[in-house]
């Protein structure tokens, strides 16, 4: 479902992605094509259990042409990398730097998709795209709405194709996304927005 507001008025500077239940399966399809000739930062929150090391960078680095890592607090944000929020920390964007926070969980989650999306919306405004993928709670919907309110774009995985429908359905209800569709279609839209080669 594509609406008439998909034309971008300013260049895309960053992509933020949120997912929970079903995240690995969705990201396995989405990330490899986006990592080709990557010029922008892709920043990802996946709900993780606390007090356990995340294996997401190790899992996705072999699948992606770009560098995959967890950011450190106050680290400058540079293009050409894929950044996963570390477990038990909220990941925020402050200016053009990462920030880590041990603030209270949001919808029982730390890291929270809403926290990342809302801070990124404030930092990047209309030059941001947020992507909401499969998940079993409503985290990400308020953040996606904030991205839209700041002039950015929101793309949502088709709930019928998601392992868990709750997160994409909530984002559709609250954020009026510019696009709802398959992971392949989302990847193609992002590649077209940035001149990447899928």
Whether 139 is catalytic is: yes
Catalytic option among 90, 109, 114, 139 = 139
CB 7 within 8 A of CB 151: no
Active site residue 47: yes
Question: Angle at CA 80, nearest 5°, toward 135 and 110?
Answer: 30
120: preceding bond cis by omega (within 30 degrees): no
101 in catalytic set? no
Kindly state the helix (H) or strand (E) to which residue 92 belongs, with its residue range: strand 90-94
Walk across the sheet containing 14-19 and list its strands. Answer: 67-69, 81-84, 42-46, 14-19, 128-132, 153-157, 179-181
Out of 47, 90, 112, 127, the active site residue is 47
Positions marked active-site: 20, 47, 139
């Amino acid at each position: 479902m594509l609406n008439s507001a998909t034309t971008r008025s300013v260049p895309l500077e960053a992509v933020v992605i949120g997912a929970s239940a079903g995240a690995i399966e969705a990201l396995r399809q989405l990330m490899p094509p986006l990592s080709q000739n990557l010029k922008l930062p892709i920043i990802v929150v996946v709900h993780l259990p606390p007090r356990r090391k995340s294996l997401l960078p190790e899992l996705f680095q072999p699948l992606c042409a770009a560098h995959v890592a967890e950011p450190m607090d106050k680290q400058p944000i540079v293009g050409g990398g894929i950044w996963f929020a570390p477990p038990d920390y909220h990941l925020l964007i402050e200016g053009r730097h990462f920030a880590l926070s041990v603030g209270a969980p949001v919808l029982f989650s730390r890291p929270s998709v809403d926290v990342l999306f809302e801070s990124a919306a404030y930092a990047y405004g209309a030059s941001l795209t947020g992507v909401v993928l499969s998940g079993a709670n409503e985290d990400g919907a308020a953040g996606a709405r904030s991205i839209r309110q700041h002039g950015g774009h929101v793309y949502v995985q088709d709930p019928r194709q998601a392992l868990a429908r709750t997160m994409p359905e909530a984002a559709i209800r609250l954020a009026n996304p510019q696009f709802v569709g398959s992971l392949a279609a989302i990847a193609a839209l992002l590649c077209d927005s940035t001149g990447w080669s899928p």
